A and B are shown apart, each in its own frame.
Chain A
């Protein structure tokens, strides 16, 4: 028995693979209630008894063909020799659909164990599964588990350890439309699915030829089936002419016969098939209503942002008091220690002003992600794709493309990665290009700061309007691109709608904590370093340390860009420099502004009124502030997003285009706004 076992988790999308993976490894990978959350394979390990289990969590797939990216990658991975045991995770409450992949996995010829997940939900719904007959019919071990309630976990790994060597002892008879198969071989002893005589004869013939070609071929039956399906990858691999045996693709026949067998299984093992899913139906009656659906969705989003700004701002008040206290304390301490003036300036004006200024926005970020976590974990995301399908169809995308865009309200990086679920590469490119226009949480501090200073009682509306502008620009650009491409292709929606469930506290905590941690890490790393750099280039010039900030390197760089920014109403060198620093992370715009304008504590009310005074003296008014917010909303996203875009598009040229394009859009829109506002006022 091997001491170290490589175990791959595979299954349909949204069946709970990642929840199970987390339960074993203690990892805190993101889970949510919509299909396609996991886009990359994740590895983890844990020890159980004397074995070291190396687990791999794969993206969800519906079948083992090689037509989509996820299917190709997952199939390649489990076909690899390093995988010892495949754990097929199935959502027991949708057994019929899940078994299709199970049958394909069994045909692969590797040890497979079926983990029947969500058994708690099955019970809740009054369904029952015959756990004796199911393994008999499939010929593989079946272990009921609940990843959420952490039941059945030990027994599943126990089964993995003991079934690493495949053995079969099933005894099955298939009924092909009532005809008893008279095929000459006793396949029923070996294979879960036995096809009609016509197909089995062909499989035998193909296997003979494959053996002639390669006598050491492992599991030729699987290859034979794939050749019958005319799978492009497998056909390429062998380069043998089978046109006499396989005059056409038998894919449909094979799928139909698999589903015939699945119907036999369901008939025998599932009791109370007509489950009571009334709750989901009732909720869907309103949320996917043909008239009310869209207004309800817009209402929910408005509520999300309203809570983010109101409750967030209320909590932010307490944070500001705390940060001011720390800043004052550190200043007093450093002065008491008679520290060098330069050091005091670096710590207080550079680091605390930069990092502290950002930390005060934590409550806003917290509320936003809490709300998004609820949306994702409830099952509503798939419904949004359905609701938005009409509007998205008009701009040449399917409703599915709206999911990445919605995720973009949180962070552009996972949003760009979520576009993998889109089948068409052209759709994907378009979605990746417009997703960064959806206002991510990093831009929120900029809106809060500027709207607080310039818009008084209308601050919430001014900030909220950024989200609307971002969405409108994204849709407009997708629309123009579609018109330019002049393709009349249809981009149809196809998405599974999971059952609604009460959001799980543990899942929400993981989700929100993960984001908060990211934010804090960013404050401690990117923003910390950016604040120091900004402080240095403001205090150092061509002739060494400068006393007049306008002679510094920073001022030089900023002034160089001023002419370009004048039409947008942002013709101040400090603003120019702040915008450049925002490429590191958009929050840095806020921390830089504090440092650039020499405002000790930008987070406090005093700091803000001081900043307002400085800006007003420079003729920077509410119109300029709004133009600034628009520019920050639309211009090139942070380096992390750029890196993700490059990784997903696999093209430097395309990435450079995206960057230039986004800066151009930002410049154009804010110039347009500023110039029109100037004329009107």
Chain B
């Protein structure tokens, strides 16, 4: 599944980040890499999403959220 489909207050583990270019690099610098745990804090109808990872709260747009592949914490 993608982060876009994530539910509020659920924790996930990043499988892969498929964002390219500068934004992809920025995400990597922020530590959004394979096996990082992230928790969805809030999301909007149009797909913008707020999540927490590595103690940092981030907001990303729908296009980014759709390219972050995650799986449930236990998988």
Question: Chain A: residues with CB nearer than 8 A to chain B?
Answer: 62-63, 65, 67-68, 93-97, 100-101, 251-252, 255-256, 259, 262, 273, 275, 280-281, 284-285, 288-290, 293, 382-383, 385-386, 389-390, 393, 398-399, 423, 490-499
Which of the residues A62, A256, A492, A499 comes within 8 Å of B62, measured between beta carbons? A492
CB of B75 within 8 Å of the partner chain: no
- B29 x A495 contact (CB < 8 A): no
A193 to chain B, nearest CB (A): 14
**Chain A residues within an 8 Å CB radius of B57:** 280, 496-499
- A67 x B50 contact (CB < 8 A): no
CB of B1 within 8 Å of the partner chain: no
B30 to chain A, nearest CB (A): 6
- B28 x A399 contact (CB < 8 A): no
| 10 contacts across the A-B interface (CB closer than 8 A) | A96-B54, A100-B29, A100-B31, A255-B29, A259-B31, A288-B42, A390-B48, A423-B26, A492-B63, A494-B61
Assuming the contacts A255-B29, A256-B33, asked whether A68 and B46 have C-beta atoms less than 8 A apart, the reply is no
| Measured CA separation A496–B43 after assembly (Å) | 15
CB of B34 within 8 Å of the partner chain: yes
| Measured CA separation A259–B63 after assembly (Å) | 25
Assuming the contacts A100-B29, A495-B59, asked whether A389 and B54 have C-beta atoms less than 8 A apart, the reply is no
- A495 x B46 contact (CB < 8 A): no
Shortest Cβ distance from A394 into B: residue: B46
Further contacts, 17 of them, CB under 8 A, given A68-B22, A259-B31, A497-B57: A67-B25, A251-B28, A252-B28, A284-B50, A285-B42, A293-B44, A386-B59, A390-B45, A393-B61, A491-B63, A492-B62, A494-B23, A494-B26, A494-B59, A494-B60, A496-B59, A497-B50
Shortest Cβ distance from A398 into B: residue: B61
- B31 x A94 contact (CB < 8 A): no
A586 to chain B, nearest CB (A): 34
- A290 x B58 contact (CB < 8 A): no
Which of the residues B44, B59, B64 comes within 8 Å of A390, measured between beta carbons? B44
Which 10 A-B residue pairings sit nearest by Cβ, starting from the closest?
Answer: A493-B61, A63-B29, A390-B46, A492-B61, A490-B63, A386-B59, A96-B54, A62-B29, A492-B63, A497-B57
| Measured CA separation A187–B58 after assembly (Å) | 35
- A399 x B48 contact (CB < 8 A): yes
Assuming the contacts A252-B28, A390-B44, asked whether A382 and B54 have C-beta atoms less than 8 A apart, the reply is no
The bracket for how many chain B residues form the interface is 20 to 34
- A97 x B50 contact (CB < 8 A): no
Instruction: Tell me which of A67, A255, A281, A492 has the highest count of chain B C-beta atoms within 10 A of its own C-beta.
Output: A492
| Measured CA separation A354–B28 after assembly (Å) | 55
**Chain B residues within an 8 Å CB radius of A490:** 61, 63
- A97 x B48 contact (CB < 8 A): no
| Measured CA separation A399–B63 after assembly (Å) | 13
Shortest Cβ distance from A386 into B: residue: B59
Shortest Cβ distance from B28 into A: residue: A255
A287 to chain B, nearest CB (A): 10
B27 to chain A, nearest CB (A): 7
A225 to chain B, nearest CB (A): 15
Assuming the contacts A65-B29, A94-B55, A393-B46, asked whether A423 and B61 have C-beta atoms less than 8 A apart, the reply is no
- B29 x A94 contact (CB < 8 A): no
**Chain B residues within an 8 Å CB radius of A398:** 61
A286 to chain B, nearest CB (A): 11
| Measured CA separation A63–B32 after assembly (Å) | 13
**CB within 8 Å of A: which B13-54 residues:** 22-23, 25-31, 33-34, 36, 41-46, 48, 50, 54
| Measured CA separation A492–B21 after assembly (Å) | 12
- A393 x B62 contact (CB < 8 A): yes
B16 to chain A, nearest CB (A): 11
| Measured CA separation A252–B29 after assembly (Å) | 10
- B58 x A423 contact (CB < 8 A): no
**Chain B residues within an 8 Å CB radius of A273:** 55
**Chain A residues within an 8 Å CB radius of B61:** 389, 393, 398-399, 490-494
Shortest Cβ distance from A497 into B: residue: B57
Assuming the contacts A393-B62, A490-B63, asked whether A386 and B56 have C-beta atoms less than 8 A apart, the reply is no
| Measured CA separation A286–B56 after assembly (Å) | 20
A425 to chain B, nearest CB (A): 11
Shortest Cβ distance from B60 into A: residue: A494
Assuming the contacts A62-B30, A252-B33, A492-B23, asked whether A95 and B55 have C-beta atoms less than 8 A apart, the reply is yes
B70 to chain A, nearest CB (A): 17
| Measured CA separation A493–B61 after assembly (Å) | 5
- B58 x A497 contact (CB < 8 A): yes
Instruction: Tell me which of B25, B36, B59 has the highest count of chain A C-beta atoms within 10 A of its own C-beta.
Output: B59
- B58 x A281 contact (CB < 8 A): no
Shortest Cβ distance from B52 into A: residue: A277
**Chain A residues within an 8 Å CB radius of B43:** 290
Which of the residues B23, B48, B58 comes within 8 Å of A496, measured between beta carbons? B58
| Measured CA separation A293–B36 after assembly (Å) | 29
Which of the residues B28, B36, B48 comes within 8 Å of A389, measured between beta carbons? B48
| Measured CA separation A161–B32 after assembly (Å) | 36
- B29 x A423 contact (CB < 8 A): no
- A62 x B26 contact (CB < 8 A): yes
| Measured CA separation A261–B68 after assembly (Å) | 23
| Measured CA separation A479–B27 after assembly (Å) | 28
- A493 x B64 contact (CB < 8 A): yes
| Measured CA separation A30–B7 after assembly (Å) | 38
**Chain B residues within an 8 Å CB radius of A293:** 44
**Chain B residues within an 8 Å CB radius of A290:** 42-45
- B48 x A96 contact (CB < 8 A): no
- B26 x A386 contact (CB < 8 A): no
**Chain B residues within an 8 Å CB radius of A280:** 57
Which of the residues B33, B46, B50, B59 comes within 8 Å of A255, measured between beta carbons? B33
| Measured CA separation A62–B58 after assembly (Å) | 13
| Measured CA separation A285–B44 after assembly (Å) | 12
- A97 x B55 contact (CB < 8 A): yes
B8 to chain A, nearest CB (A): 9
B51 to chain A, nearest CB (A): 10
| Measured CA separation A330–B34 after assembly (Å) | 75
**Chain A residues within an 8 Å CB radius of B63:** 490-492
**Chain B residues within an 8 Å CB radius of A94:** 54-56
Assuming the contacts A252-B33, A494-B26, asked whether A284 and B58 have C-beta atoms less than 8 A apart, the reply is no
B23 to chain A, nearest CB (A): 6
A176 to chain B, nearest CB (A): 14
Shortest Cβ distance from B42 into A: residue: A288
**Chain B residues within an 8 Å CB radius of A399:** 48, 59, 61
**Chain B residues within an 8 Å CB radius of A262:** 31
A255 to chain B, nearest CB (A): 5
